[in-house]
């Protein structure tokens, strides 16, 4: 806004100087010195306007573009800091922060929150037997499975290693037990072929309400 105002003043000055120049040129009684001064003011205004057009405006445009790019990069870095790089799920930091926020919000309206913790059975043995790459394959397969079991406002995160967590807002005890069983059964439907062997996946699940 300051730059726009500055340019506006320059343009106005140039216009007024131009009017004054026409006046003094049409009035033979005006001295040559005054004519020269008005001419210089007019040329100065034109020069400043040209400088602003070809120098200041591009600088302002580049600054605006860099600001937008910086905001986009900041958002990207923020998302990366809250996302598990292997599975694409939210990470422990996001889970802890969002759970605290949910607890505060739902406690204020007297609604419970359900939490289930999923711990894959024998994952260390699977990873040691078939290799870390196949262990990563198991984690990604489980992540995809869990994504199919949650709603839009649920929180799904990988807490670390073979441990996952889901937060179900506003759920009663019976419904939470059903959700936990549904998740357990879905994981047991995962069958992967690792190094030519068919491997079944299972998980131990704990559930409670807050």
- Predicted model pTM: 0.66
Report which secondary-structure segment, H or E, holds 89. Answer: none
21-67 pLDDT, tens digit each: 555 555 555 555 555 555 666 666 666 666 667 776 676 666 665 55
Q: Is 150 left (phi over 0), alpha (psi -120 to 50) or beta?
A: beta
Give the whole-angstrom CA distance, residue 192 versus residue 95. Answer: 28
Let me know: does 197 contact 113? Beta carbons within 8 Å. no
Q: Give residue limits of the domains in the chain.
A: 2-81, 92-209
> Which single residue is written with the structure tokens 């937060």?
167
Query: What's the pLDDT at 170?
Result: 92
76-135 pLDDT, tens digit each: 445 568 999 999 999 999 999 999 999 999 999 999 999 999 999 999 999 999 999 999
Give the whole-angstrom CA distance, residue 107 versus residue 97. Answer: 16
- Dump the DSSP string for 22-60: HHHHH-TTS-HHHHHHHHHHHHHHHHHHHHIIIIIHHHH
Query: What's the pLDDT at 81?
Result: 85
Query: What's the pLDDT at 140?
Result: 98
60-89 pLDDT, tens digit each: 666 665 555 544 444 444 556 899 999 999
CATH number of 92-209: 3.30.70.270
Q: What is the largest CA-CA distance in the chain?
A: 107
141-194 pLDDT, tens digit each: 999 999 999 988 999 999 999 999 999 999 999 999 999 999 999 999 999 999
Query: What's the pLDDT at 73?
Result: 43
* Residues 6+ away with beta carbon under 8 Å from 117: 159, 163, 164, 165, 205, 206, 207
Active site residues: 162
């Amino acid at each position: 806004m300051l730059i726009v105002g500055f340019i506006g003043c320059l343009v106005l000055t140039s216009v007024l100087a131009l009017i004054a120049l026409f006046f003094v040129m049409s009035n033979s009684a005006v001295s040559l010195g005054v004519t020269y001064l008005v001419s210089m003011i007019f040329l100065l205004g034109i020069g400043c306007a040209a400088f602003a057009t070809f120098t200041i405006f591009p600088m302002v445009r580049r600054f605006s573009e860099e600001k937008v790019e910086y905001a986009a990069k900041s958002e990207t870095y923020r998302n990366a800091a809250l996302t598990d790089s292997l599975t694409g799920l939210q990470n422990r930091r996001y889970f802890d922060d969002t759970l605290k926020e949910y607890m505060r919000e739902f406690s204020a309206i007297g609604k419970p929150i359900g939490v289930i913790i999923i711990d894959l059975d024998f994952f260390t043995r699977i990873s040691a037997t078939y290799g870390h790459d196949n262990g990563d394959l198991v984690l990604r397969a489980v992540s995809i499975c869990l994504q199919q079991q949650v709603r839009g406002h649920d929180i799904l995160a990988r807490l670390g290693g073979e441990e996952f967590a889901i937060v179900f807002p506003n759920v009663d005890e019976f419904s939470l037990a059903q959700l936990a069983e549904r998740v357990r059964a879905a994981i047991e439907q995962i069958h992967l072929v690792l190094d030519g062997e068919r491997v079944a996946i299972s998980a131990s699940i704990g559930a409670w309400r807050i």
